[in-house]
Each structure stands twice: as C-alpha cells, then as structure tokens.
Copies of this chain bind each other. A is one copy, B any other.
Amino acid sequence: MYFASDNTAPVHPKVMESLTRANAGYAPSYGGDAIMDTVRARIRELFEAPQAAVYLVATGSTANALSLATFCPPWGAVYCHPRAHIEEDECGAPEFYTGGAKLVLVDGDDAKMTPANLRQKIADTVQGDVHRVQRGMVSITNVTEMGAVYSTAEVAALCDIGKSFGLPCHMDGARFANALVATNASPAEMTWKAGIDVLSFGGTKNGLMGVEAVVIFDPEKAWEFELRRKRSGHLFSKHRYLSAQMQAYLADDLWLSLARDANAMGARLSAGIAAAKGGKLLHPTDANMVFATLPRAAHRRAKDAGATYHFWPVDRSLDGPDDAALSARMVCSWCTTADDVDRFLSTISG
C-alpha cells in the first residue's frame, strides 16, 4: 500500500537487465555509445519525426529547465498553470536556467490551462513594450499535476493559441506514457502534430532508474541544447547507462504497458474511493494519480495499516474529528498491484 509517489517505485527488471547487458567492456563516453544511436533512431521512429534531436538527461526538472532555457529568452514569459511542476516543484530551476524568465500563471480546473485563459494572458503581455517581459513560450504539463489528462485536441487548442502569437510550445511529459495510454493517442499526435516543439519525455516515474529524453522536433536548436546540457553538468560520461534504460523502456512497448498498468490501478483506486463512505474525488482520475478526500477516521485506519501516501497539500495534519474530511494524493505506479489497492480500499472502509 505504497502510494506516496511513482518515483518511490523500483526499477523494472527488464531495465535492470538492459543495464547489465550494457555493462560489457568499454564504450565511448558522453553520448557516443552505440546504444544511444539505437535509442535515437527508435524515438524518431516512434514519434514519426526523422529529423528530431534526441537527448537523455537524468531528471525531469533538468529536461524541463533545459528545454525552457533553449527556447525562451531571459526576458520571456513562460505560460503555465499555477500547479505546474515547473512552477511549484523545481525550486526555481526554470528561472535559474533561463537567466530569469518569468512564469506567468494561467488558471483552469484540474491543473489544466484553459484556452481562453491562455489567450488572455498572452494578449495581456504587451509586446514591444520594453518595460515588460515579452511573450516567451507555452508549457503544458501532461499528465497534469492534479492527475488530469489533456486530450490531443486540448493540447492542440493551446498550441494553436501559442502559435498564433508565434510562441514555441513545450510539453512536460514526466508522465507522458500515462497520458498517451489514457488518450489512445500516438506520440506524434500528442506532440508535434498538435504543435509541441519540445518534449520532456519521462521515464523515471514509469519504471526507469533515472532517465528522461528531451525530444526537439526542429533540430535547429540541437547544438545549443547540447552546450546547455554540458554546461550544467547534465552530460553523463558513462552515458550508455542512460541509453540502456531508455532502450529497454521502448522495447516491446514496455513503456506503454507499464503506464497502462499504473493507470488501471489508478482507476481501480479512484473508483473504490468514490464509492467509499465519505470518499470524494477532487479531480478526475485520468491516469495514475488520485486526489480525494476521506474522513480522518479512514486515513487513520489506512496509516495504521501501513499505507503510505501524502495528505494534500503536504503540510496538512491528520489531527481533527473522525468524520472531518482530509484531502490526500495517492499515486499508483507500474508495480502497484490490485491486491495493494483492494487492501487499501478495504482498510478505509473500516
């Protein structure tokens, strides 16, 4: 009953095997490894993007921050949701990497920006007025931090607005696989076909040890990205061990299979909570994250039984009357089992 985060889950055995396979003899360093060539080719194929520049880094914040820094000037506005990971969970990495760009917050339910709000915020950024930060880029988090998923049409609607102002569009896809399986979209449909210019393609939360790909659909900025990656310490010397993780991830659609499992467990958990006494969903469970309130008594039983998850916001206290609602975030991962979920549901039901 470990629902704290998908990044507390272990590495998938096939990924471990791939690492072991990669560990034979010498290999060129700094991305010159042969495995990276196959990974690059595979990602281009998957995304139907034969020209795309593909890079691996080890953390999601890095994928995001380097993507933003490459596409947004220091005086640019980055349009994102107030609950976006880049706004709330990276300790200012976007500002650090861009040299001081400003995150301009665009509201909407379930951590999804609405087209109308995005258009308004961009329009409000008066262009050509030297006293103001300038329109910079759009960043869309999919799956959102509240567990909702943008459809490809929704992504396209936001990108269309961005494009109409000439802005590049980024997708923070830390849970990209979960978003794809939730929508049955292809990688291309969810990204460049919808208007995305650069993607943080997550793996760590979905069974890898620590690898995210950055996919840049127009390779013009590729060399700049490489310099920014190196200069920030994110180019690995023993790069083959990043490549090997991604290789296993993409082989036999493992990545989609793992995300499908996690989403299924999210749905099971969500349905169970919604049906539980005092249970109430706060956001739609489109993927593997459940946001819900439960009576404090239910939480107490769960915690006593060893369930691990965060109240939400994280600084909320369990103190209070038994029947008082308390909100929580529960995240399923590739290795969450139906038994885990059912035990939890049984526990909260008392």
Question: Which residues of A does B touch, CB under 8 Å?
Answer: 2, 4-5, 7-11, 16, 19-20, 23-30, 57-62, 65-66, 73-75, 88-93, 95-103, 126, 129-134, 204-205, 209-210, 224, 226-238, 241, 308, 313-315
Which residues from B are CB-within-8-Å of A130?
Answer: 30, 91, 226-227, 229-230, 235
> Does A27 lie within 8 Å of B8, measured CB to CB?
yes
The 3 closest A-B pairs by CB, nearest first: A95-B100, A62-B233, A7-B237
> Does A131 lie within 8 Å of B315, measured CB to CB?
no
Give A154 to B131 CA distance when docked, in angstroms: 29
Given contacts A10-B23, A134-B227, contact A96 B89 (CB under 8 A): no
> Does B23 lie within 8 Å of A8, measured CB to CB?
no
CB distance from A174 to the nearest CB of B (A): 10
23 A-B pairs with CB atoms under 8 Å apart are: A8-B26, A8-B27, A10-B23, A10-B27, A11-B238, A16-B20, A19-B209, A61-B233, A61-B235, A73-B227, A74-B96, A75-B92, A75-B228, A75-B231, A89-B131, A91-B130, A93-B231, A93-B232, A96-B99, A96-B100, A102-B103, A134-B227, A210-B238
CB distance from A280 to the nearest CB of B (A): 23
Which residues from B are CB-within-8-Å of A59?
Answer: 233-237
Q: Is the interface of A mostly helix, strand, loop or mixed?
A: loop
- Report copies per complex: 4
CB distance from A308 to the nearest CB of B (A): 7
Which residues from B are CB-within-8-Å of A133?
Answer: 91-92
Give A314 to B129 CA distance when docked, in angstroms: 10
> Does A132 lie within 8 Å of B74, measured CB to CB?
no
> Does B92 lie within 8 Å of A231, measured CB to CB?
yes
Chain B residue at minimum C-beta to C-beta distance from A233: B62
- From B11, B131, B236, A91 is in contact (CB under 8 Å) with B131
Which residues from B are CB-within-8-Å of A100?
Answer: 92, 95-96, 98-100, 231
Give A100 to B72 CA distance when docked, in angstroms: 14
Given contacts A227-B75, A315-B126, contact A88 B132 (CB under 8 A): yes
Which residues from B are CB-within-8-Å of A27?
Answer: 8, 10
CB distance from A149 to the nearest CB of B (A): 21
